[in-house]
Amino acid sequence: MSLILNNARIVLAERVIACGAVHIDNGLICRIDEQPVQDSTALDLQGHDLIPGLVEIHTDNLEKHLMPRNGVLWPMLPAVITHDAQCVAAGITTVFDALAVGDLEGESVRLETLHTAFAAINAGQAEGVFRADHLIHLRCELAYPALLKELQPLLDHPAVRLLSVMDHTPGQRQYRDLAQYKKYYAKKNTSWNDDTFSSAVTERHALQAQYAERHQATVVAMAQARGIALASHDDTEPSHIALAVRDGMVISEFPTTEAAARAAREAGLATVMGAPNVVRGGSHSGNVAALTLARAGLLDILSSDYVPASLLHAAYLLTEQAGWSLSQAIATVSANPARAVGLDDRGEIKVGRRADLVQVQRHRDVPLVRQVWNSGVRVF
- pLDDT tens digits for 307-341? 999 999 999 999 999 999 999 999 999 999 999 99
Residues 190, 315, single domain; the answer is: yes
Residue 359 makes CB contacts below 8 A (sequence gap 6+) with 5, 8, 45, 48, 49, 50, 369, 370, 371, 372
* Whether residues 172 and 45 fall in one domain: no
Residues above pLDDT 90, as percent of the chain? 83
Domain count, the chain: 2
Same domain? For 6 and 135 the reply is no
Domain span at 14: 1-52+348-380
Confidence (pLDDT) at 248: 97
The C-alpha angle with vertex 182 and arms to 179 and 183, in degrees rounded to 5, equals 85
Tell me how far apart the terminal alpha carbons of the chain are, to the nearest angstrom: 17
Domain co-membership, 59 together with 36 = no
Same domain for 215 and 110, yes or no, is yes
Q: What is the mean pLDDT of residues 257-283?
A: 96
DSSP string, 154-201: GTTSTTEEEEEEE---TTSGGG-SHHHHHHHHTTT-TT--HHHHHHHH
Question: Can you tell me the mean pLDDT for 141-167?
Answer: 96
Q: What is the CATH number of the domain that holds 212?
A: 3.20.20.140
From CA 29, how far away is CA 376, in angstroms rounded?
Answer: 8
Determine what percent of the chain is predicted with pLDDT higher than 70: 93
Please check whether residues 42 and 116 belong to one and the same domain. no
Q: Do 103 and 26 belong together in one domain?
A: no
Same domain, 12 and 155: no
pTM exceeding the 0.75 threshold for the entire prediction: yes
Residues 332, 300: contact at Cβ < 8 Å? yes
Domain identity same for 76 and 170:
yes
Q: Identify whether residues 23 and 111 lie together within a single domain.
A: no
Average pLDDT over the chain, rounded to whole?
93
Among residues 340, 354, 299, the alpha carbon closest in space to that of 161 is found at 340
Beta-bridge partners for 287: none
Could you report the per-residue pLDDT of 174-223, keeping only the tens digit for each? 776 676 666 666 556 556 666 777 777 888 889 889 999 999 999 999 99
